[in-house]
Amino acid sequence: MKRVLLVEDDPLIRECVNEILTEHNYEVALTERADNAVEIISQNHPDVVLMDLQLQIGDGVLATKQIKDTETIRNIPVILFSAKDNIRSLVDQTGADGYIAKPFEITDLLTILAQF
């Protein structure tokens, strides 16, 4: 079973994605804060991280850069998860491994997660 860390502060999106992934046999850990993402990843070693960029606590861009700069966890794929117009360019800027634009289709979410 693949383990996913979802970093998302919108409770409706967080619960929706959690339900979708759980129904498709993913084990999901949730946090609404980017400022503790590196610590959670270091402790739990998920197979992939879905990182929202616009969070109330912490910065998803900065957290992604920190993940990719931390030797012990840099190989864990980070998928940016946002409605920002410049999400494609942020993939290159942060070292992320991909992106899903909001709003998203369930099939798109599952397809990109299956790649990792």
Q: What is the pLDDT of residues 89-104, one digit of tens each?
A: 889 999 999 999 989 9
Percent of the chain with pLDDT over 70: 100
Q: Tell me what pLDDT residue 89 has.
A: 83
Mean pLDDT value across residues 14-41:
94
Burial class (CB in 10 A: 0-12, 13-18, 19+), 102: middle
Residue 58 has pLDDT above 80, yes or no: no
* Domains of the chain from N-terminus onward: 3-114 (3.40.50.2300)
> Using CA atoms, how far apart are residues 76 and 54, in angstroms rounded to an integer?
21
Band of pLDDT at residue 56, cut at 50, 70 and 90: confident
> Using CA atoms, how far apart are residues 75 and 72, in angstroms rounded to an integer?
8
> Using CA atoms, how far apart are residues 69 and 87, in angstroms rounded to an integer?
20
DSSP 33: B
Residue 21 has pLDDT above 90, yes or no: yes
- The reported pTM is 0.92
C-alpha closest to that of 64 among 44, 34, 40, 84: 34
